[in-house]
């Protein structure tokens, strides 16, 4: 269970960091002017975080990769929605809320149904 929790935490942090890497250009002028620097500085750390997260979740599920893929997708959907709402003011429409519920359902199924 420790590997699963650690993997999920790394996925959430990684998804949040990738949000800032790709959408920081809409918040900070420096990010917009320096996309290559942003990608070079942040890209390696974020990639490493996803590699470790994938390994930890796969170890929890006896080498299976699909549960980690769904968990990564679900955490990405949730973090994207929350960060976009908070930093860019994009509201959560009914369609987005239903999509988030489906993403949370995917993650819950992967965690509970081993």
Q: What is the pLDDT of residue 68?
A: 94
Mean pLDDT of the residues in the chain = 94
- Helix then strand then coil, in percent of the chain rounded to 5, is 85, 0, 15
Query: In whole angstroms, what is the distance from residue 97 CA to residue 85 CA?
Result: 12
Q: Residue 54 has what pLDDT? A: 98
Number of domains in the chain: 1
CA–CA separation, 109 and 66 (whole Å): 12
Range of the domain at 21: 2-112
Q: What is the pTM of this model?
A: 0.88
What is the per-residue pLDDT across 27-82, written as a single tens digit (0 to 9) for each?
999 999 999 999 999 999 999 999 999 999 999 999 999 999 999 998 999 899 99
């Amino acid at each position: 269970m420790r590997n699963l929790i650690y993997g999920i935490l790394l996925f959430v942090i990684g998804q949040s960091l990738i949000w800032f890497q790709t959408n920081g250009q809409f918040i900070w002028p420096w990010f917009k002017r320096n996309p290559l620097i942003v990608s070079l500085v942040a890209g390696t750390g974020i990639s490493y975080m996803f590699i470790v997260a994938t390994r930890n979740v796969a170890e929890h599920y006896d080498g299976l990769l699909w549960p980690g893929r769904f968990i990564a997708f679900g955490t990405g959907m949730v973090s994207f929605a929350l960060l976009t709402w908070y930093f860019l003011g994009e509201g959560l429409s009914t369609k987005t809320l239903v999509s988030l519920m489906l993403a949370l359902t995917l993650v819950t199924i992967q965690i509970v149904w081993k």
